[in-house]
Structure 1
Amino acid sequence: MTLGTVISVDEIATRLKVLADPTRLRIFDLLLGGERCNCEMGGLLGLAPNLISHHLGVLRGSGLVVARRDTNDARWVYYSVDRAALADMAAMLSAFFSPDRLADRDPACGPPMNGQ
C-alpha cells in the first residue's frame, strides 16, 4: 500500500507545519482542554494578545481551530479545536505511521541483496 492511496503527503505536511511552531502547538494544546479566549491564552502563555491572535489566525486558516463570537457581546471571541479536523488529522497520522505500511523489498538498483 502506498500513501497516495490513503492520504495526501502534502496535506499531512501542511498540517504538521502549522503545528511545528512551538507557540502554535502550545495554543493548540490549551485548546484541546476546552474553549478559550485570546486574553486567557495570552495570560497562560505569557504572550501579547497580538501574537496570540497571529497564531490563532494561522491555526484557523489551517482548519484546526474555529472561532465563536459571544452572543451577548460580540467583542468577545472564543476559540476551540475543530473536532472533525482533529479526527481527520488523527486518522491521517495513524494511517501514515501505521506499521502495516512497512514492506520488505530489495532495492531496485545496485548489487543483489543477500549474495543473489
Structure 2
Amino acid sequence: MEQHTLPHQHGQSKEQLLQHMPATENFELVSAIFKQLSDPSRIRIFWILCHCEECVINISAMMEMSSPAVAHHLRLLRSSGLIESRRDGKETYYRASLSKKAQSLHKMIEEMMEISCIQL
C-alpha cells in the first residue's frame, strides 16, 4: 500500500490503520451482501432458511407471497452465497449456507431484533 499523508494531523498516527485497511474490492463485496439484505422480505426468507430447509411453495405460504416473487428473492440470496439449494425429484429445497458469512449474518439479524434462535 502506498504511503498517505493526511491533510490534518490530530495528534494520532493513522499509518498503522491505513497499512491494514482492506482493499476497496473487499468493501464492495460486503456492500453487495448487505444490499441483498436491504429488502425486508429477503431478510425474512433468509431468517426462515437459517432455521429449516424448505421448498418455494412452502416459503411462499409462510411469506404470504407468490411463488415467482419468492423465487426471485431466492435467486438473489443464492447468487450472494447466503443460501444453498438441492433438488429432490421435481422439488428444489433451500436452506441457509453453512458459510461463516451466512452464519454471522444470521446471528447479527437476531441480535439486532433482540431475539434468540428458535429450536425446531
TM-score (normalised: structure 2): 0.65
Structure 1 unpaired stretches of 5+: 95-116
Deviation at 1:11, TM superposition (A): 1.1
Structure 2 unpaired stretches of 5+: 1-16, 109-120
Match of 2:71 among 42, 53, 78: 53
Q: Is the 8 A contact 1:66 1:79 kept in 2?
A: yes
- Matched AA of 2:91: W
Q: Is the 8 A contact 2:86 2:93 kept in 1?
A: yes
- Matched AA of 2:83: V
Q: Which runs of 4+ in 1 moved over 6 A?
A: none
- Work out which of the two has the higher radius of gyration on C-alpha atoms and give 1 or 2: 1
For the aligned residue pairs, the C-alpha RMSD in angstroms reads: 2.1
The share of aligned pairs that are identical, in percent, is 28
Q: Is the 8 A contact 1:67 1:79 kept in 2?
A: yes
Distance 2:58 2:77 in 1: 17
For 1:21-40, list aligned pairs within 5 A: 21-40=39-58
Distance 1:41 1:14 in 2: 24
Q: Which residue does the alignment assign to 1:80? A: 95
Q: Is the 8 A contact 1:3 1:9 kept in 2?
A: no
Distance 1:76 1:88 in 2: 26
Taking CA–CA contacts closer than 8 Å with sequence separation of 6 or more, which of the two structures ends up with the larger relative contact order? 1
Distance 2:70 2:79 in 1: 14
Deviation at 1:3, TM superposition (A): 3.8
Residues 66-94 of structure 1 show CA distances to partners (whole Å, capped at 9, x for unaligned) of: 11001xxx21000011111xx13529xx9
